Structures are given as C-alpha cells and as structure tokens.
Structure 1
Amino acid sequence: MRIAVLRERADAERRVAATPETVRKFGALGATLAIEAGAGEAAGFADADYAAAGATVADRDAVLAGADIVLGVQGPDPAALGGVSPGAWIVAGLNPLAAGEQGRGRVDAYAAAGVEALAMEWMPRITRAQSMDILSSQSNLSGYKAVLDAAAEYGRAFPMMMTAAGTIPAARVFVMGVGVAGLQAIATARRLGAQVSATDVRSATREQIQSLGAKPIFVESVAGIEGEGAGGYAGEMSEEYRKAQAELVSSHIAKQDIVITTALIPGRAAPRLVSDAQIASMRPGSVLVDLAVEQGGNVEGAVPGEVVTRHGVKIVGHRNVPSRLAADASALFARNLYNFLSAFWDKEAGRPVLDAEIGDAIRLTKNGAVVHPRLAT
C-alpha cells in the first residue's frame, strides 16, 4: 500500500496532510509513504523530518507513481494525478457542493480520471467517527484564532483592569453561532478576561454557553430552525425566526466591542447575521470577525482575505483561518486522516476496507462515475 502526500497548491494553504508522526504510524501498519519535497515546509515540517520518520521524499511525479492513496488537505488537481494506481483513493477536503471547477467540476473530473474520491468533510457525526472529523478539528482552531485576530485589531484591553489611575472595563464579546468554532471562541475570550455573550438558533446550545461562563442570548417566543440539530448542524432559519433574531441582535450588538460570527449551513451560502445598519450602531473602534466570509459571509460588507472598515468598525475576513495556525492545524488534520484509514485497515488485505455507514457517506466517485446521492443530477 503506497500512500502519497502532495504539497498543497491552493492559495494561502500552508497545511500539509501528513506529519512525521503520522508517517511513522502508517509505517507501523505496513504502508509506505512518499512525500513531495517541500510539502510540510510552510507548516514547519522539514523534508529531513519526513525522511527520518521513514518516508521517501521526492518530486511530484515520483510521489504519485503507483500511489494507492493520495492524501490532501484540499483536493489535488485531477489533471495532475498521472501515475496513480487504477482506482486510487483521493482522501481530502473536497468541497463537493461548491460551484465551478473547485467544487462539483473537480468531482466530475475525479470520476473521469477513474479515482475514488473521499470527501472528509462529509464524515458522519457519529461517535466512532469523532476522531476522523476534520471539520471539528479545524473549526476548533478557527474559533481560537478568531479571538486572537479580534484582540490584534481591537485597540483596547480584554480584561477588566483596576489601576491607581482608574478602572478599564472588560471588553464585551458577542459570539454568533455556537458550534465547535463558537464554543472555542467563547472559551478563549473568557480566558482573556472578556465579558462574553453568545447566541445560536439551536436551543440545545444554551447549556453549553452557560457551562463556559457566557451569557446566552436567545429568541424565546419563536420556533427555531427547520431540522434543528440534524447531524449536529444548524439548518435554514424560518422567516419568522429570522426577523425575531434580527430584532434581538440589533439591540444587543450595539453594546458590544467585538462580534465573532461562525454560522454555516452545509451546502448553502452562509446566513447573513449582521447588517450594515447593525454595524453602524456599534461604537467606532469595535471589531467584527467573520469566520464564514469564504462561504458568502455572515457580515454585510465583509471581504474575503481583507480587513476593511465600515462606519468606524473593523471587519476581519481572513481566508482559511486554520491555515494561519499551520503546524497545529496540520497535526490535527493528519491525525484525522490517520484515524480514518487505520480504523478500517485490513491486515490481510494490507489496505483499508470501508464499511457502508462511513464509506457511503463520504464516497463521491467510483468506477468512473459520481456515486454520492447528494450529487445526483
């Protein structure tokens, strides 16, 4: 079983899909690893470290030659997979519902190339798959980094400080969307001494917010979202709920120093949570961090890859936030991939053999066709 790891080509992508740690673990299973030269450089992993762990370090063509599995953070270019074994697996984040050549177009190209594409972001949220969940591991880091980015842009201190010259009040931080990223943002802001509040359309998150010492801000009199809690994700909000939430948020957001938005709906554009009028109600010098900016943005006026100012408020729209913590993000991502493949490793076959529950959930292409029902045309 030959496993290939390529250097990521996407803009602003500094992560790598294997680390020296996981190279050694794959070696213990009996697999051989080939790493493209420079693949881990941006994340702080030198070629020499991979070689010492037992991997072969070579150019892209040599790495792909005879590869049975290709690991990636983002899916590799289908046109550049020459030399892989027939039916080779592509195991990466593939963003299959995105429009254009970086989404569905790439999935179709994988099918045409005869490879089996496995989308790790579609890993089912079940107990035995938690250690394989790339969305959770990367979102955790995003929530942490969002607070640090906010602190870097905010021209004041986070904690309350009592000095002989007077008292500095604690910063007020409002987190919108309490998934993995939101919970980590709450915890990080609390550790920095901020006064934290949070909201979500899922009522089940109220206790989670309170457990972290933050104040829950919820619409009380209106039903939540359709399919609330299905698969652990939020769904689309009803129009009635959307209006009630906007009213509640408008009154609360005007009092906040920092707002962090994390709301995403799988397969759809990110919901708009903060309007231009709400931004205008905030105090000049306040900060908004939009973690959903690459999926359309929760904040009106957020620009992917930029920090912009509207009405005196800074709006932070960094792309690929986990990649800005490349070493830790790579370590977690690589462990997700190892946990996935090792859980299904068949010693007699010398390769992983997927079961239906997980295999059918993440398999996009097989035998030259797109096979996932969510991609049926």
Structure 2
Amino acid sequence: MRIAILKERDAGETRVAATPETIKKFVKAGHVLAVEKGAGDGASIRDADFTDAGAEVGTLAASLKGADAVFAVRKPDAATLKKIAKGTLLVSHLDPSAEVADEMAASGLDALSMEFVPRITRAQAMDALSSQSNLAGYRAVIEASQLYGRAFPMMMTAAGTVAPAKAFVMGVGVAGLQAIATARRLGAVVTATDVRPAVKEQVASLGAKFIAVEDEEFKQAETAGGYAKQMSAEYQAKQAELVASHIAKQDVVVTTALIPGRPAPKLITKAMVESMKPGSVIVDLAAPTGGNCELTKADEIIDHNGVKIAGYNNLPGRLAADASALYAKNLANLLPLLVDEDGNRAPHWDDEIIQGMALSRDGAVVHPNFAKQET
C-alpha cells in the first residue's frame, strides 16, 4: 500500500502523522511511504530523517500521486481535499459532525475518524484521544504553573513559609488523571471532581481528594463506553453549588470535561470566576468545543478581574515530538486493520473498530450518528 503523510496546514499545528520509527516499520512490512516536504518541521523531524528511514519526500502532489491511503493529524483543508483522489482512505482527526461526514462522502473518500476509535480493550493501542489527552493533561498543569505567579509546592525558609498551591481538576478522564498526577508532583494540594463514580478511587490513588454530589444519579452516571453521561438539570444545579463554594478557594483550576459529539458542558460561570482570588489561573482543555468556562476564548489567555483563563486549542502540539511519536504509533497499530494479508489496501469493514471509526465509504455517509435514516 502507498501511504501519503501530509504536512499539517492548520495554524499552530506542529504534529505529524509519522515518525522515522514508524516509517521503518511500514517500509519493512512492504509499504511505500510518501511524506510531504516539511511535514515534520514542527516536531523537529527533518526531511532527511524521513528519507533515511526509507520514505519518499516530495511535494504534496508527488506524495498524493497513486496513494492508497492518506494519514494526517487533522482534517485536510478544502484545497488539499480536492487533490486527494476519490476512493482514497483518509485516516485523521476529523472533528466529526454531520457536516464533516457529508463533506467526506462528497469528496469520495473512505474516511476514518481517529476521535471515534472505540473505547474497548483491543483498541487501546490505537486510541489517539487517550494518547494525546495524556499529554494535554500534563501540559495544562505546566502552562498553569507558568501563568500562576507563585510557587506550587510548600517551601519552608528562614524568611517564612510559602503555602502550597491549591489545584482543582474538573473531569477525571485520561487528561484529568495526568493533570492530577502532574500537579501533585509539583507539590500542589489537589482536589478533583467528575460525575462518574468509578474514578473516585483513581483520584484517591493519586493522592487527591474527590469532590462531588454523590447521590443516586451520580451512581449511574457513566456510559458503557466509559464516557460521562449528560446529567439532569437538577444534578447540575447541586453540583454547581458545591463547585462554586469550592472553586472560590482554589489557586489553579484545570477543566477537561468533554462529551463526544456535543459542545463542552459549562462548569464554571462568570460568577464563579469572580469569586476566585486575583492571581488564580484556569486552564480550559475544552476550549476547542466551546470551553467548560463561560468566559473561555479559544486560543486566547484572558484576564478577568485578575484571574487568568487560558483556552489553548492544541496543548498536545506544545509537546510536538512526543505527541507525534504517540500518534504515529496509534496509526501504526491501526494499520493491520487497513490491509489484507498481502499488505494491500483492504479496510476490515466488518471489524467493530473500523465500523466505529468510519464516517464515509464509497461516496456515502456510513456512521450511524450521521447517516440519513430511510423513511
């Protein structure tokens, strides 16, 4: 199979969908890798590194010529999509929606969305959301420590004692757990909240305190896939009241709450922000989908009454080399489900992983979330 690796065109996107390590594995397996010139620049991977690994490096047109599959980090822009031949397999983060599914089908591409890798044991090594969220949770705390004008750990000196920072993590998925662990390593006193009861023990195991309204609805608040359910308005009101009293005492807040396919839930109101002390920091990982804080602005750091609110759109991209390495391995682990025994392009359309990821096939929308229902 001939696989094209695209140079990312989104502003600020530093990652790349392949590394010399994965290129070598692909080439050894008999595949041809065509990397667009400059694709690895943001991740400190030179064109020569790709060439040495066995890839062809050239222009976009040269890379796409004869490609059976295209691997990318983000959805290619409209101009690039027009240059990809119909029938090509596209594997990327696609920000899936009904509009994107229609766009993929209209382009004639067999599109697989990395956001939709099922949360099952067999797919863990392919789960790009988890690999990238892990880095995002770490980086969120590092960014918070830079914006916060004080030290994180308690320090006892002859001149006096510096109190430890109080950090609050909202949403304890992969990103949240890593944020907790990182804040703890930096010496903060950490609390965390989530609507899923199963994470309470995980929070405690990392040395943090769990904060939540633990009623009957809370005990049933997790989907079979491990995601948080949309909670009732009544529960949200009770949880908001608890959070409001807690957040006023915090120095650093990291929000990570996301619901696949929906705008991010609003967890922090303007009033909550105004209750926080000047110098406090909020880092909102949900900024790309609207933000968990109602004051968040995507890709901006704003100051509201002395409280800094950071809405980074691409935290994994701030760790481009590591993020690219993990994402490239996710794709490498997915590859066996895209080819037959001879290495020819043959997606396993009957496999639950591919079925879960597929947005379009043969010019039609196939994902059940977006396919038009027959009447």
Q: Same fold (TM over 0.5)?
A: yes
Greater mean alpha carbon deviation, residues 364-373 or residues 191-200 = 364-373
CA contact (8 A) 2:197 2:221 kept: no
Q: Cα offset for 1:182? A: 0.2
* Whole-angstrom distance in 1 between the partners of 2:278 and 2:127: 39
Paired residue for 2:369, among 366, 369, 374? 374
AA matched with 1:34: A
Q: Can you list the C-alpha shifts for 1:205-227, whole angstroms capped at 9, x where unaligned?
A: 10000010001111123512876
Q: Can you list the C-alpha shifts for 1:300-331, whole angstroms capped at 9, x where unaligned?
A: 21111111111211111111111111111111
Paired residue for 1:245, among 236, 239, 249? 239
Aligned residue for 1:374, secondary structure, equals coil
* Whole-angstrom distance in 1 between the partners of 2:113 and 2:219: 26
CA contact (8 A) 1:66 1:84 kept: no
* Whole-angstrom distance in 1 between the partners of 2:153 and 2:127: 34
Greater mean alpha carbon deviation, residues 341-350 or residues 152-161 = 341-350
AA matched with 1:243: A
CA contact (8 A) 1:224 1:238 kept: no
Cα distance change, pair 27–171 in 1 and its aligned pair in 2 (3 A): same
1:227-238 alignment to 2 at 5 Å?
228-238=222-232
Greater mean alpha carbon deviation, residues 247-256 or residues 218-227 = 218-227
Paired residue for 2:306, among 282, 301, 312? 312
Aligned residue for 2:217, secondary structure, equals coil
AA matched with 2:17: A
* Whole-angstrom distance in 1 between the partners of 2:85 and 2:283: 44
Paired residue for 2:280, among 270, 286, 293? 286
CA contact (8 A) 2:31 2:343 kept: no
CA contact (8 A) 2:20 2:53 kept: yes
Partner of 1:24: 24
Q: Cα offset for 1:107? A: 2.8
State the TM-score, normalized to the length of structure 1. Answer: 0.95
* Whole-angstrom distance in 2 between the partners of 1:227 and 1:216: 16
Greater mean alpha carbon deviation, residues 221-230 or residues 292-301 = 221-230
Q: Cα offset for 1:273? A: 0.6
Partner of 2:294: 300
1:166-245 alignment to 2 at 5 Å?
166-221=160-215, 223-224=217-218, 228-245=222-239
Cα distance change, pair 77–106 in 1 and its aligned pair in 2 (3 A): farther
Q: Cα offset for 1:150? A: 0.4
1:112 aligns with 2:117: no
Partner of 1:101: none
Partner of 2:4: 4
Q: Cα offset for 1:12? A: 1.3
Aligned residue for 1:231, secondary structure, equals coil
Q: Can you list the C-alpha shifts for 1:167-226, whole angstroms capped at 9, x where unaligned?
A: 111100000000000000000000001100000001111000001000111112351287
CA contact (8 A) 2:337 2:354 kept: no
1:143 aligns with 2:137: yes
CA contact (8 A) 1:225 1:237 kept: no
Partner of 1:358: 353
Gaps of 5+ in 2: none
* Whole-angstrom distance in 2 between the partners of 1:214 and 1:141: 19
Greater mean alpha carbon deviation, residues 364-373 or residues 109-118 = 109-118
Cα distance change, pair 32–305 in 1 and its aligned pair in 2 (3 A): same
State the TM-score, normalized to the length of structure 2. Answer: 0.95
Partner of 2:252: 258
Cα distance change, pair 30–352 in 1 and its aligned pair in 2 (3 A): farther
Gaps of 5+ in 1: 98-103
